[in-house]
Amino acid sequence: MGIFLIIMCHLLFTVMLGLYLSRSITRPIVKLALSARKITRAHDKSIKLEKLPNRNDEIGELSKALQEMTNDLQERIRATAGFAADVAHELKNPLTSLRSAAETISRIDNQTQQQALMGVILEDVKRLDRLINDISQASRVEAELAGTKRESVNFCELVDNWVLMMKDRHSDVELTWNPPANSKFKKYFEVSIHSGRIIQILDNMLLNAISFNPPDKNIEIKLTSASRSKNMLVFLFVIMG
């Protein structure tokens, strides 16, 4: 009888321990799965993954990894939406100018004015072509970056060397670059990036700035912090004209 009671106690203890371990493992995983489905189905993509109580085991590591992945995906979604809005804005200006010129040219008989309007139309078409090429190039760069190895570089030194090359290449344009001296930026200078692609992006940005810059006007290159994120830097081309 005593042996039977000992066996039953061991069996009961094993069952209770199994139930406890099962609940402690499966419940947080189910909670993470439900939270992930909620984010997937939600229209508001800014919803955060529900946090689990602080855990120092594999479940805690899984939770942190899923939170980081969710935040990264949401940041990419916001970046894509912002890019689409910027593209729409950039395309709207030349299209509006094209429409105005096309409507005007059909109402006038003066040949000189017609030729002037045709010149405006051709310039707007060139501008649209340039914008579309930039968009296409940006899409290709993003696709290529996914399979390219990054390298650790000092971003300010990279820009310093790039500005020197651009001053030689575009000697007719005055470029001003003053690296930020504020110590709060220093921790962002050492970055892991695709240097070649970053240089290519900077080239395209500068060419776009030059196309909008009035003759004999300075283009200032600035580096500042992003207002929406403390971990982001904003690279600006300021057209002084």
179/192 Cα distance (integer angstroms):
19
Q: Higher model confidence: residue 216 or residue 110?
A: 110
**pLDDT one-digit tens code per residue, 179-214:** 776 655 566 677 777 777 788 888 888 888 888 777
- The pLDDT, as a whole number, for residue 33 is 75
- The pLDDT, as a whole number, for residue 147 is 59
Strand duo 233-239 + 219-225: pairing? antiparallel
Q: Higher model confidence: residue 214 or residue 174?
A: 174
Topology annotation, domain 49-147: Helix Hairpins (1.10.287)
> Quick check: helix, strand or coil at residue 47?
coil
Phi, psi of 155 (to 5 degrees): -65, -40
Q: How far, CA to CA in Å, does 168 sit from each of 116, 140, 175?
A: 34, 28, 10
145/194 Cα distance (integer angstroms):
7
* Positive or negative torsion for Cα 228, 233, 234, 240: positive
165/206 Cα distance (integer angstroms):
12
- For the cut 70, the answer to whether the pLDDT of residue 136 exceeds it is yes
Q: Could you name the CATH architecture of 150-241? A: 2-Layer Sandwich (3.30)
* Mean pLDDT score, 91-103: 85
* Mean pLDDT score, 60-67: 76
| Percent of the residues in the chain that have a pLDDT greater than 90, as a whole number | 0
CB proximity list for 226: less than 8 A, separation 6 or greater: 232, 233, 234
- The pLDDT, as a whole number, for residue 27 is 74
Q: Where are the domains of the chain?
A: 49-147, 150-241
